[in-house]
Amino acid sequence: MNSTLLKEHPARIADSQEMASAMRSVLGNFCTGVAVITSDSADGPLGMTVQSLVSISLDPPLIMFSPQKTSKTWPAIQRTGSFCANILPADRRDLGLRFARSGTDKFAGVDWQPGLTAAPVLDGALAFIECSIEHVYEAGDHYMVLGRVRDLGEKGPGEPLLFFKGGFGSFNRMPRNQD
């Protein structure tokens, strides 16, 4: 750790509990979409809901998401070497909730088709991005998973599901970016 930098930039919030609570609250102002990360293993399909999906690079094509170190599903996904990010539409918050419940049969009653990497592409997803796992970085209580895009597509028009301040939402009006 660089102590000179720490002296120049001391933390205003010293207590780690208080910092965690401020991080949750303040970062909750950053609205994101919601995706289900899937993969196919010998023991059956795997999935977990994330809001940490980001586009990283176009050349080479890279995306990233961050699983918590406590996730039971992530180590099994990592072993497969690939994943599919299924971006959810506003009317499928049920999928967002279902794939966030640890220890349940997350795929019961969920329809999907295997993608290029055999990872489940969920029926009803707004879009999908299939990746091979390029690198996994340690980052505090999370990992940062860099995926190299192998295939991707849009599955139809629709509004995205949003996540803001700990709750689901959607646009009242779609952004006017196509004029």
**Interface with ligand FMN (CB under 6 A):** 34, 48-52, 66-68, 71-74, 96, 99-100, 102, 163
- Count of CB atoms within 10 A of residue 50's CB? 23
In the complex, minimum distance from the CB of residue 7 to ligand FMN, in angstroms, rounded to a whole number: 33
Whole-Å CA distances, 120 to 66, 85, 104, 138: 19, 9, 17, 26
In the complex, minimum distance from the CB of residue 66 to ligand FMN, in angstroms, rounded to a whole number: 5
Residue with tokens 């180590």: 75
CA 93, CA 34: separation in Å to the nearest integer?
A: 9
The pairing of beta strand 162-164 with beta strand 32-33:
antiparallel
In the complex, minimum distance from the CB of residue 163 to ligand FMN, in angstroms, rounded to a whole number: 4
Task: Give 96 or 158: the residue with its C-beta nearer to ligand FMN.
Answer: 96
Task: Give 83 or 163: the residue with its C-beta nearer to ligand FMN.
Answer: 163
In the complex, minimum distance from the CB of residue 117 to ligand FMN, in angstroms, rounded to a whole number: 19
CA 167, CA 58: separation in Å to the nearest integer?
A: 30
With contact defined as beta carbons under 8 Å apart, do 125 and 155 qualify?
A: yes
Task: Give 32 or 118: the residue with its C-beta nearer to ligand FMN.
Answer: 32
In the complex, minimum distance from the CB of residue 4 to ligand FMN, in angstroms, rounded to a whole number: 33
CA 71, CA 74: separation in Å to the nearest integer?
A: 6
Task: Give 89 or 96: the residue with its C-beta nearer to ligand FMN.
Answer: 96
Task: Give 10 or 166: the residue with its C-beta nearer to ligand FMN.
Answer: 166
